[in-house]
Amino acid sequence: MKNAKWLLPIAILLISSCQKDEVRQLDTSYNPEILAANFSNSTVVNNPYFPLEMGKKYIYEGQTEDGFERIEIQRLPTTKTVLGIACAVVNDKVWIDGKLVEDTDDWYAQDNAGNVWYMGEYVTDYNPDGSVKDHHGSWEAGIDGAKPGINMLAVPQVGMAYRQEYYFNEAEDEAEVVEVGLTVTLALGTYTNCIKTREWTDLEPDVIGYKTYASGIGIVKDGDAVVLVEIQ
């Protein structure tokens, strides 16, 4: 039994590993009711803090830990049907130091109350040489247990928290409104009546992000580094 002293540490390691895996469990309590009848004009997305105007392009830039980031966001003249609901398609491209790293189509639908729902996304990640790396992070509500979340509340108030998406172990972003009535001044202009949200995910518990939204515009700041620099 000279090897017995090794068995206990290994057993403890295995038990600890199992316990760690068991900590994260599917949130069966999250079951948003999505009825087509509540989305009469789903592609008319005119929520003041997340308006999706056809063809308009929003450009963001800033220095981040990964390099100089440029983001271009634009609604496309197409739709995507998810859970029987027509969704607006928004293209989101990200460059780091001049190289395209991500190209995503996001799908949004506004309900009759004015909430903007996030219904899924198709992600394409790129390698430094420009070749396709993977499609990690892609999901669609109603497929493989994925559920939609709210991207922007109809009437955001401080303290309101909500899931933005829920695809267990893949996409679990959440947000909370932390400030309202803000005034934000950028090189592009001064925006009043802004709101600020805090964002996090249980998949990366040490990462916290913030976004600032201006009424009539949408996102004007992604964190403190990446800001709106141009609207085309």
Say how far residue 74 (Cα) sits from the centre of its chain. 15
221: left (phi over 0), alpha (psi -120 to 50) or beta: beta
User: Smallest Cα–Cα separation from 181: which of 153, 154, 156?
Assistant: 156
Instruction: Look up the pTM and report it.
Output: 0.89
Q: What is the pLDDT of residue 20?
A: 43
In this prediction, residues 69-98 reach a mean pLDDT of 98
Which of the 8 DSSP states describes residue 167?
B
Query: What confidence tens digit (pLDDT) does each residue in 141-186 have?
Result: 999 999 999 999 999 999 999 999 999 999 999 999 999 999 999 9
Using one digit for the tens of pLDDT, what is the confidence trace for 11-20?
Answer: 333 334 444 4
Residues paired with residue 202 on neighbouring β-strands, in sequence order:
none
pLDDT reported for residue 16: 40
Report d(CA 200, CA 32) in Å as an integer. 20
Tell me the per-residue pLDDT of 118-128, one tens digit each, with 9 for 90 and over: 999 999 999 99
The per-residue DSSP string of 74-133 comes to EEEEEEEEETTEEEEEEEEEEEETTEEEEEEEEEEEE-TTSPEEEEEEEEEEE-TTSSEE
Position 22 scores a pLDDT of 52
**Helix (H) or strand (E) run with residue 151 in it:** strand 147-152
User: What share of residues in the chain are helix, strand, coil (percent, to 5)?
Assistant: 10, 55, 40
